[in-house]
């Protein structure tokens, strides 16, 4: 039996909410907007689009991202079979083309289009700011030769960054710092900022500079883009190491940006040398500070000092008269047991 639709007057098999399916479909939409607008950032340099925490390189990618985000953007009545998004960024709207039905009582599926205002805001994307790995414009790698960076050395790097940030010079700061392979990687958006940090660090730490530059692509305005890597190589020696230099053993007392101070472990005299490549190439590390045994001076007699190591072995070591004050009874000392020699290292005060 046919019923007449109260709105259009046509005969129909059934009424949904008092309307024929055609009239219901016209008055009850499958999709209702949940938001007043779609908000998108546009990079003013390269045109990339930002949506949902991501910089996208084309409007096709943006359309896909918006499609995935539809449950947050539209409320669905009835049944949605598929939805496709078209963007008209310069016209200021997006369209969602849906196929579905607003009520399961409608025995056909149909297409419906929802127009959502699209609001754009200009910004600079991570790529143009140098924040994306492929276009990082300058990396400073701080490394030490044959060892990891010491805490003192890491502190020196952070100190330089602190100085820059407290001088309000945010542009000069790296946008990321990573602990990497026993060293630090500092990522800068400009090579100039990177060089300034290198210059400041050179006032605190000795290093050799190796600089490389490689082409990583083309930027939004068609210019070739280069990434420069500045590798700072700190010396293989650090404070507290026991080293061999010109066939004598030394304790590294201090390394500053220009000099190294060594304590001769036979005479216990200090020697100061200008730091340079050729000096460093002649110094070999015998033991790192943390590889030394600890011991206690148990007694001294004449030029002999008796030391008990923390594994309860007693060693008798000849000490020149000028150095006896460094090894008083009950004093803690460092100990390096070599094949034919035992080295006593005075504890730092
Ligand atoms: Zn009707
Ligand atoms: Zn950009």
Per-residue pLDDT reduced to its tens digit, 73-121: 999 999 888 888 999 998 999 999 988 899 988 887 888 999 999 999 9
Domain boundary among 103, 123, 143: 123
Does the interface ipTM go beyond 0.95?
no
85 and 167 in a single domain? The answer is no
Whether residue 163 is found in the same domain as residue 229: yes
The CATH code of the domain that includes 331 is 2.40.50.140
Q: Which residues contact 111 (CB under 8 A, 6 or more apart)?
A: 97, 98, 99
* Domain housing 53: 3-123
Assess whether 19 and 119 both reside in one domain. Answer: yes
Instruction: Please report the pLDDT score of residue 135 as a whole number.
Output: 45
Asked whether residue 265 is domain-assigned, the answer is no
How many angstroms is it from 34 CA to the middle of ligand 1? 28
For residue range 24-72, what is the model confidence (pLDDT) as tens digits?
A: 988 899 999 999 999 999 988 888 889 988 888 778 789 888 988 999 9
- If we measure between CA atoms, which residue out of 323, 324, 320, 317 comes closest to residue 340? 317
In the chain, the number of structural domains is 3
Say how many Å lie between the CA of residue 128 and the centre of ligand 1.
Answer: 56
Full DSSP string of 174-236: -SEEEEETTEEEEEESSHHHHHHHHHHHHTTS--EEEEEEEEEEE-TTS-EEEEEEEEEEE-S
User: How far does the centroid of ligand 2 lie from the alpha carbon of residue 170, in Å?
Assistant: 20
Q: Tell which of 200, 219, 234 closes a domain.
A: 234
List of long-range contacts for 168-174, beta carbons under 8 Å, 24+ apart: 172/196, 172/197, 174/140
Nearest ligand to the CA of 221 is 2
Measuring CA to CA, how many Å separate 152 from each of 127, 158, 204, 254? 34, 10, 10, 11
Strand partners, 158: none
Are residues 78 and 179 located together in one domain of the fold?
A: no
Looking at the fold, whether 117 and 147 belong to one and the same domain comes out as no
Residue 278 resides in a domain: no
Mark out the alpha helices in the chain (DSSP H runs).
21-27, 59-68, 70-73, 151-166, 191-202, 277-281
Kindly give the distance from the C-alpha atom of residue 137 to the centroid of ligand 2, in angstroms, as a whole number. 14
Name residue, tokens 């995935």: 68
Answer whether residue 243 is part of any domain: no
- The CA-atom distances, in angstroms, between 48 and each of 114, 189, 216 are 25, 18, 18
| Residue 241 within a domain | no
248-255 sheet: strands from edge to edge: 270-274, 259-264, 248-255, 242-245, 283-287
Question: Are 166 and 197 contained in the same domain?
Answer: yes
Span of 173-182, 255-264, 312-321 with lowest mean pLDDT: 173-182
Residue that finishes a domain, picked among 73, 88, 123? 123
Closest ligand relative to 27 C-alpha:
1
Is 80 exceeded by the pLDDT of residue 211?
A: no
29 and 89 both lie in a single domain: yes
The pLDDT tens digits of the residues spanning 291-326 come to 899 999 999 988 899 999 989 999 999 999 889 888
Same domain, 21 and 98: yes
Task: Say whether both 178 and 92 belong to one domain.
Answer: no
């Amino acid at each position: 039996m046919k019923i007449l639709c109260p709105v259009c007057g046509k005969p129909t098999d059934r009424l949904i909410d008092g309307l024929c399916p055609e009239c219901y479909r016209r008055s009850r939409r499958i999709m209702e907007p949940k938001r007043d607008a779609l908000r998108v950032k546009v990079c003013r340099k390269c045109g990339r689009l930002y949506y949902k925490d991501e910089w996208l390189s084309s409007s096709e990618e943006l359309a896909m991202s918006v499609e995935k985000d539809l449950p947050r953007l539209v409320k669905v009545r009835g049944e949605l079979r598929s939805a496709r998004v078209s963007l008209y960024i310069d016209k200021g709207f997006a369209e969602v083309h849906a196929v579905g039905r607003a009520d399961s009582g409608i025995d056909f599926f149909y297409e419906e289009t929802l127009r959502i205002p699209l609001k754009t805001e200009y910004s600079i994307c991570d790529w143009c700011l140098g924040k994306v790995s492929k276009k990082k414009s300058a990396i400073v790698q701080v490394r030490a030769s044959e060892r990891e960076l010491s805490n003192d050395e890491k502190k020196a790097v952070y100190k330089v960054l602190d100085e820059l940030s407290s001088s309000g010079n945010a542009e000069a700061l790296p946008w990321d710092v990573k602990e990497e392979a026993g060293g630090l990687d500092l990522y800068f958006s400009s090579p100039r900022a990177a060089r300034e940090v290198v210059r400041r660090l050179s006032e605190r730490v000795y290093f050799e500079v190796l600089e490389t530059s490689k082409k990583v692509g083309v930027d939004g305005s068609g210019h070739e883009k280069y990434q420069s890597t500045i590798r700072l190589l700190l010396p293989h020696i650090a404070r507290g190491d026991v080293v061999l230099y010109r066939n004598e053993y030394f304790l590294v007392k201090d390394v500053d940006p220009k000099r190294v101070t060594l304590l001769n472990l036979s005479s216990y005299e200090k020697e100061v040398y200008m730091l340079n490549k050729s000096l460093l190439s002649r110094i070999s590390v015998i033991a790192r500070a943390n590889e030394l045994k600890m011991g206690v001076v148990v007694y001294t007699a004449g030029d002999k000092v008796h030391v008990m190591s923390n594994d309860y072995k007693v060693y008798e070591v000849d000490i020149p008269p000028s150095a006896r004050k460094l090894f008083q009874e009950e004093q803690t000392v460092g100990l390096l047991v070599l094949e034919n020699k035992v080295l006593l290292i005075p504890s730092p005060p």
